[in-house]
Amino acid sequence: MNVLVVDDEIKNAELVAAELRDAGFTASHVGGGAEALAKLETGGFDAVVTDLRMRPPDGMALLATIRERWPAISVIMMTAYGALETAREALKHGARDYVEKERDYVDVIVRILREDSESRSLKSANATLSATVESLRRDALPVVGEAPATRAALDLARKVAVTDSTVLLRGESGTGKDLFARTLHALSKRSGGPWVKVNCGALPEALLESELFGHEKGAFTGAVKQKDGRFEDAHRGTLFLDEIGEMPMSLQVKLLQAIEEKTFTRVGGNKPVTVDVRIITATNRPLEEMVKARTFREDLFFRLNVFPIVLPPLRERPGDVPRLVEHVLRKQGAPADKIDAAALRALAGYSFPGNVRELEHTIERALILAGADAITTEHLSFAQGAAPQGGSASWIPTIPPEGLSLEVLEKELILQALERAAGNKSAAARLLGLTRRTLYSRMEKHGLRAPGEGDDAEGEGE
Ligand SMILES: Nc1ncnc2c1ncn2[C@@H]1O[C@H](COP(=O)(O)OP(=O)(O)OP(=O)(O)O)[C@@H](O)[C@H]1O
Ligand SMILES: [Mg+2]
């Protein structure tokens, strides 16, 4: 605690400050309100102990200024004996406390300052705590996206999370199925219970059965003791069956039964085990086709498909790209403006066959390549070879396997030309091999300028 003592009886100020130092505080003193304000300007004070009656600015005036300019500083009033009315007035105006100048009053000041110091550290501990809670809450809901499709998926997730309904998450690789599954658990009333994930495609059939349902001692060679399965591990929590499309036909009946009756037997046993488990599944496989081809049981499909949530591919929600880029930059500890406008547009125009995962990898790679500089299109792996080299007419982009949008490409090239030409439209038109008039009409088409806006007027280089 750094304390400033103010009293126009300077001897008294000095004395109080000395006693406060003896009590372990940092304390200095001044002989009036004006000097006090000058001293406070320099910063670093936690409390002011001031005499009430002084030459102007007096204690009340000092209090008013401190409350307004340095609200974190506590003010303690010293009053002459019998000035209780004014002292109470001071409390009303935000003084922390007051003391009457009688015998041993500095001891009282010490006690007040100690209390003040304690409540300060409590407050800051509290602030730290709520910051932590807030960041935990944010981490629990890390789904980023503003596009209507993303919002719709999140809305569904929020609604179904609190129920015990089985959820089927569908979407291409990297669209966030895993993330949504974890979010569903985090938002559910089971969030305090276990979160168990099994990748159904990662284990051979024989092992998968015992992984899911456990086994009894001696069930097979090597089963030296009884082992619980993941269904049991997930008791009172959530079991996430990822890549459910890879579930072998032979296990599908047992799975269906386990989901419907919450009861199953361990491998090599016949004692029924009952669990309380909420099931979430995910796949990027066309389950309907698989049902037709009889590689996936129809009854299981219907049971899992009670509440489907489809996560659209990133190319269908380009509006999410800027947010996701910012999110990835933040996760990597980089500022949001680490990337330049052209690179951001190139990202928004790219089709991301690997979806959000590819976007993450693209940004992480670009961050490494860019080092201390801003990320430009040059650092984007997919844009490599797509940056025109010195206006060469021989530069022809290759259409990526998943195709491209000519409109998006044209708009991007126009924006790049305008940027390179610093807004000078004649220069931009030259870069693109267009007349200025044609450039104008294409800019209009892409909403880059209002129709008929200054066709022949100069206004160049703005
Ligand atoms: N909306 C989103 N907001 C923030 N991060 C996201 C979002 N969607 C996906 N991600 C991130 O993208 C990466 C891939 O997502 P995830 O693993 O959930 O995809 P998936 O659909 O399970 O893919 P796969 O089918 O390949 O298993 C993860 O790092 C995830 O955190
Ligand atoms: Mg996944």
Look up the domain containing 203 and give its range: 148-312
Query: Which residue from 167, 179, 329 has its CB within 8 A of the most atoms of ligand 1, so it is best to mutate?
Result: 179
What is the maximum span of the chain, computed from C-alpha positions, in angstroms?
98
Tell me the per-residue pLDDT of 289-339, one tens digit each, with 9 for 90 and over. 999 999 999 999 999 999 999 999 999 998 999 999 999 998 888 998 999
Closest ligand 1 atom number to CA of residue 320: 1
Residue 375: beta bridge partners? 339
- pLDDT at position 132: 53
Residue 308: beta bridge partners? 168
Residue 242: beta bridge partners? 199
- pLDDT at position 104: 86
Last residue of a domain, one of 259, 278, 312: 312
Query: Which residue from 175, 184, 284 has its CB within 8 A of the most atoms of ligand 1, so it is best to mutate?
Result: 175
Distance 264 CA to ligand 2 centre (A): 26
Is 457 inside any structural domain? no
Query: Which residue from 356, 358, 360 has its CB within 8 A of the most atoms of ligand 1, so it is best to mutate?
Result: 356
Distance 124 CA to ligand 1 centre (A): 36
Closest ligand 1 atom number to CA of residue 242: 27
- pLDDT at position 437: 85
Is 136 inside any structural domain? no
Is any ligand 1 atom within 6 A of the Cβ of residue 175? Answer: yes
- pLDDT at position 400: 75
Q: Could you give the CA distance from residue 177 to residue 240 in angstroms, rounded to a whole number?
A: 11
Residue 196: beta bridge partners? 239
Number of domains in the chain: 3
Q: Please report which ligand is nearest the Cα atom of 362.
A: 1
Is 34 inside any structural domain? yes
Q: Please report which ligand is nearest the Cα atom of 146.
A: 1
Residues near 372 by beta carbon (within 8 Å), at least 6 away in sequence = none
Is 139 inside any structural domain? no
Closest CA to 170 of 80, 84, 234, 244: 244
Is 405 inside any structural domain? yes
Is any ligand 1 atom within 6 A of the Cβ of residue 179? Answer: yes
Distance 361 CA to ligand 1 centre (A): 11
Q: Could you give the CA distance from residue 2 to residue 49 in angstroms, rounded to a whole number?
A: 11
- pLDDT at position 456: 47
- pLDDT at position 263: 94
Is any ligand 1 atom within 6 A of the Cβ of residue 151? Answer: no
Same domain? For 155 and 52 the reply is no
Same domain? For 174 and 258 the reply is yes
Total residue length of the chain: 462
Is any ligand 1 atom within 6 A of the Cβ of residue 178? Answer: yes
Is residue 401 reached through a cis peptide bond, with omega within 30 degrees of 0 on the bond before it?
Answer: no
DSSP code for 5: E
Q: Which residue has the tokens 């046993």?
A: 269
- pLDDT at position 220: 86
The segments of the chain whose pLDDT lies below 70 read 127-141, 384-398, 450-462
Q: Are 370 and 379 in contact (CB under 8 A)?
A: yes
Q: Could you give the CA distance from residue 367 to residue 321 in angstroms, rounded to a whole number?
A: 16
Q: Please report which ligand is nearest the Cα atom of 149.
A: 1
Same domain? For 193 and 294 the reply is yes
Same domain? For 173 and 233 the reply is yes
Same domain? For 297 and 177 the reply is yes
Same domain? For 327 and 306 the reply is no
Same domain? For 272 and 178 the reply is yes
Same domain? For 242 and 302 the reply is yes
- pLDDT at position 310: 96
Same domain? For 152 and 48 the reply is no
Is any ligand 1 atom within 6 A of the Cβ of residue 32? Answer: no
Q: Rounded to the nearest 10 degrees, what angle do helices 436-445 and 425-432 cross at?
A: 90
- pLDDT at position 418: 85
Distance 50 CA to ligand 2 centre (A): 65
